[in-house]
Amino acid sequence: MSIYLKALQIAYSGISVTLQITVFAVLIGVALGLIVALGKMSSLKPVKIVFSIYVELLRGTPLVVQALIVYAGFPMFLQSNGIQFRWDDPILASILVCGINSSAYVAEIIRSGLQAVDKGQMEAARSLGMNHLQAMRFIIVPQAFRIILPALANEFIALLKETAVLSIIAVVEATRKSMLWAAATFEYWPAYLGTAFVYLSITVPMSRLVAYLERRMAQSDRSK
């Protein structure tokens, strides 16, 4: 039994890095995602096309490939053009690539939320003297974020699990910690079982929280 407890201890020792990457990546993803969502809803066709391509590229390629491009390919590209650059901290590169990747998915979530807000809300805001930007900032966007809150929480859970692939760019997070320990002790079964348990100990409570939020919002909508 002690070997399994040791496996849990090793995996939990890397979970702080996993959570750090996930939290900052989601913040970047939401900020970028809002811009991308508004771009995709733009009445200007070139703008709409550019942001649509952005989303398709990011959603159509694996996160691990994007991580390799940003961490290894991008510095090599700069160096071939006479610019010396390398990532001193793979965690920073991981936050950036996960944030950009997340923005493509968050953009679609936000866009669906904005479209779900009754069009009469915009008309009412404009009738009160607000311009389009003010109406979006104070009326439409807050209502949209209330609608998409459960979906954003699900994106956080998905991204938390996807950070496991970042071990390929030398990020020592929960999965990488277990891999290194397993390689040194040959205790592969306890190591990876412990890793799975650590992820479950975070994702299962969060999934229950998301389900609770969805039920509360459904009850709130029915009571109106």
Please write down the HEC assignment for all residues of 76-143: HHHHHCCCCCCCCCHHHHHHHHHHHHHHHHHHHHHHHHHHHCCHHHHHHHHHCCCCHHHHHHHHHHHH
List pLDDT tens digits, range 177-211: 999 999 999 999 999 999 999 999 999 999 898 88
pTM: 0.86
Res 150: pLDDT: 85
pLDDT range class, residue 224, cuts 50, 70, 90: low
Q: Which domain holds residue 185?
A: 2-223
For the cut 70, the answer to whether the pLDDT of residue 47 exceeds it is yes
CATH of the domain at 175: 1.10.3720.10
**Domains in the chain: how many in total?**
1
